[in-house]
Amino acid sequence: MTVLRKNLIDGEWLGEAGSRNINPSNTNDVVGEYASAGPEEAKQAIAAAKAAFPGWSRSGPLARHAVLKKTSDEIMARKDEIGRSLAREEGKTLAEGVGETIRAAQIFDFFAGETLRLSGEMVPSVRPGVGVEMTREGVGVVGIITPWNFPIAIPAWKIAPALAYGNTIVFKPAELVPESAWTIVDILHRAGLPKGVLNLVMGKGSVVGQAMLDSPDVNAISFTGSVGTGKRVAAASVEHMRKFQLEMGGKNPLVVLDDADLAVAVDCAVNGAYFSTGQRCTASSRLIVTEGIHDRFIDAMKERLDKLVIGDALDAKTQIGPVVDQTQLKQDEDYIAIGRQEGAELAFGGERLERETPGFYLRPALFTGATNAMRISREEIFGPVANVIRVKDYDEALTVANDTPFGLTSGICTTSLKHATHFKRNSEAGMVMVNLPTAGVDFHVPFGGRKGSSYGPREQGRYAMEFYTTVKTAYTFAG
């Protein structure tokens, strides 16, 4: 019998069935049934968070530490179970699902520690007898809207700092991956959060998300998703003068120079472009390769792609799982058709695959002969599709790499310290990788980009404090 997962509003599990979660590796497999909140439930959640804020924001650091540490410990203890469930509902491989779950546990552990490291400043005033204190306080009710591609890590890196710094939360996860979201909320709830501090409202973005945007009682919104929706979040937030933080698209370059170690370059390209089925905002979708290594790189890429095992995410042998759903699969196929129409050569893959169970399987696609003006080089595809752009030298490679409306991450494969150093300084991206895949970041350092990729303070690490707190300056005259 399928279990109904309900929304958590003001400490109570509420709601009736509204949607089914389908396994993309086997569309006959129903992961679960989930309540779907409407505008009224969203308003109730916001009101509950507002009412809970005074108490939680003034709670002691040990109380917050205990909740976050218990959450970290339980996630880590259940990493195999939760990771398997994540792979089942999202389609990333079992190893990736467990790895993402471990990362979520590490994030909660890090911010549990941050509750005990909260600090301020005390300085003398320019006026005799006056003392000045600068402290940080929670901003209030935080709306959290997360995407489907990292269903436990992204909620973790938003929820953990929000709670650590004394905020209350209304959390709307992506409709495609409600199980991971429900699991993390259930663990936090049982870890001892007071009622109303964390509220889960699953449902449609056009309904629940809009109610959050429209409410003057939501003091800040942290959003990860599409560029179009991000712009709507920004416009609505300006109207209410609330803080907002946006993580949106990427069209990330990986530069491969003539002096690169070919094996390292291929490893970086395959991992960055195709792992997690290419469904990462940090994926290397533009492979910018200089003339001297171009042909050898293409041959090595095709050889490596031909050996990849594409199959059921829960099969331990699988290296590339299915696309998340039919809509995303069609988008990938549409872009593959666009690339061919634009004149790029489909050098490998791009076709649907049949497996033992019905699912959204697509062979990773590699285009050659692409230019940076093509749509497949300008627009985020968000699937296992990458294109190679041939360039003359490092200078042209850097120019092409920076010629994009996005600026999330970038990479370079080279054995030249000179070129690596110059690229790190001159790449117009928020994160830069040298001889590493563009996808794959640490949990304790800032995450974020430039240009059309990101807006607002960075996420993760101690930099998260900039978004989830506000600064207060207090003056005291001792007499």
H or E element: which one contains 449? none
247, 333, 380, 466: which is the annotated catalytic residue?
A: 247
Return d(Cα 65, Cα 324) in angstroms, integer: 35
Q: What is the DSSP string of 291-334?
A: HHHHHHHHHHHHHHHHH--B--TTSTT-SB---SSHHHHHHHHH
Quick count: other Cβ atoms within 10 Å of Cβ 354? 8
Q: SS3 of 429, please?
A: coil
What b/e sequence results for 207-219 when a residue is b if at least 16 CB atoms lie within 10 Å of its CB, and e otherwise?
Answer: bbbebbbebebbb
In the DSSP assignment, the letter for residue 210 is: H
Strands 17-23 and 130-138 come out as unpaired
Contact 229, 45 (CB under 8 A): no
Place of tokens 């279990």: 3
- CB neighbour class for 100 (10 Å; exposed up to 12, middle 13-18, buried from 19): buried
- CB neighbour class for 2 (10 Å; exposed up to 12, middle 13-18, buried from 19): exposed
In order of 26, 34, 249, 320, 391, the CA distances from 324 in angstroms are: 11, 18, 17, 12, 33
281 a catalytic residue: yes
Question: Two tokens at 336?
Answer: 């593959």
Contact 202, 172 (CB under 8 A): yes
Contacts of 189 (CB under 8 A, 6+ apart): 8, 11, 198
C-alpha dihedral, 319 to 322 to 328 to 332, nearest 10°: 60
33, 114, 175, 281: which is the annotated catalytic residue?
A: 281
247 a catalytic residue: yes
Active-site annotation, residues:
247, 281
